[in-house]
Amino acid sequence: MLNVTRLRILRELHLRGTLAQVADALSYSPSAISQQLSLLEREVGVPLLEHVGRRVRLTDDAVTLVGHTEVVLAQLEQAEAELAATQPSVSGTLRVASFQSVALEIVPPALTRLNETYPGLQVEITQRVVDAAFSGLLAHDFDLILGEEYPDLPDPPRTGTDRADLVRDSLFLAVPSHGPWAQTPERIADLADAPWALDPQGTASGDWARAVCRGAGFEPRVMLEGPDPLLHAQMVRTGHALAFVTALIAAEHLRGAQLAALPGDPERILYTSVRAGRTGHPAVVAFRDVLAQVAAERRLDEPRHRLRATTG
């Protein structure tokens, strides 16, 4: 019978790409990783690795074996979840990855409620952008991650994961209350010359924001580019930039700024994702339930001003 530990090492190499990264992730030395992979090759009787310069690459047979390993690991996780469900209380450690706005506004009250309801469950939070969080989830670095999906930018299917939508979070235009850009516009098209604080290109939020501006007929003049929504909010409050903001952030961090509803009332979807074999684990179920409770309680009054569509 094939050794599960060695199969996992092969899978880690497929995910991470180098022996050094696998060694670091699993707390082995690179030589120990190489030795385990050599033993696995002898067990299966076919070459699993080929050298390309100073690196190694998985053979086609190795990739096939990784596919079977995914099934085995998912089944073992499901077995762990079923055993955990027979225990009288929810306990253990849940490793969570979250991006900033959710970590700021939903995770802390969720942890407070979780401590009251499930005192035996410990949660460890790591801040990660969504793509990096998914990589960590598949590599078993995290047990649950929080993600976001923006309008017209659907998330790609993630094989081997289970997604549960958490809440719809409205998207608004934030305008300074003083300075040259303090007057709330009638249309996004009226802001062609305005300075903007936007998330980086290549992120869902940054690409969505630029698409909105381009749909209004202009390329945004970005005076601040960065992934920090609180910095965006500060630039708006101090009169230096406009920004697209979420209701989640606006409720606490944009007091004094003006908010305008966007045409079509766009929303992002906040969700959690876990590996499929861990869906029924009591710790996952408990944390998802508490997150959903907290998210449902957060509300922001509808902005008084509504922008018109570019056409019409």
Task: Read off the pLDDT of residues 137-154 as tens digits, 9 standing for 90 and up.
Answer: 998 999 999 999 999 999
d(CA 4, CA 9): 9
Q: Is the pLDDT of residue 109 over 50?
A: yes
Backbone phi and psi for residue 187, each to the nearest 5 degrees, phi listed first:
-140, 155
Q: What is the pLDDT of residues 147-196, one digit of tens each?
A: 999 999 998 888 889 999 999 999 999 999 998 999 888 999 999 999 99
Residue type, 96: V
Listed residue (149, 164, 176, 184) closest to 290, CA to CA? 164
- Tokens for 196? 């903007």
What's this model's pTM, rounded to 2 decimal places?
0.87
Q: Roughly what angle, to the nearest 10 degrees, separates helices 282-297 and 60-85?
A: 80
d(CA 5, CA 220): 51
d(CA 217, CA 170): 23
Residue 54 binned pLDDT confidence (cut-offs 50, 70, 90): confident
Summarize the confidence of residues 299-305 as an average pLDDT. 70
Please state the length of the chain. Answer: 312
Report yes or no: 244 and 198 within 8 Å, Cβ to Cβ: yes
- The pLDDT of residue 296: 87
- The pLDDT of residue 302: 67
The overall average pLDDT reported for the chain is 92
> Taking the CB of residue 46, how many other CB atoms lie within 10 A of it?
12
> To which H or E segment does residue 260 belong?
strand 258-261
Say which residue, 219 or 306, is predicted with more confidence.
219
Helices (H), the chain: 4-16, 19-26, 30-44, 60-85, 100-105, 107-117, 130-138, 204-215, 229-237, 247-253, 282-297
Q: Is the pLDDT of residue 250 over 90?
A: no
- Tokens for 37? 């992979």
d(CA 127, CA 80): 26
Domains in the chain (CATH in brackets) are 4-83 (1.10.10.10), 89-167+268-297 (3.40.190.10), 169-266+301-306 (3.40.190.10)
Q: Is the pLDDT of residue 254 over 80?
A: yes
d(CA 48, CA 71): 19
Backbone phi and psi for residue 162, each to the nearest 5 degrees, phi listed first:
-120, 120
Q: Is the pLDDT of residue 312 over 80?
A: no
Residue type, 279: T
CA angle 285, 109, 145 (to 5 degrees): 45
Q: Is the pLDDT of residue 311 over 80?
A: no
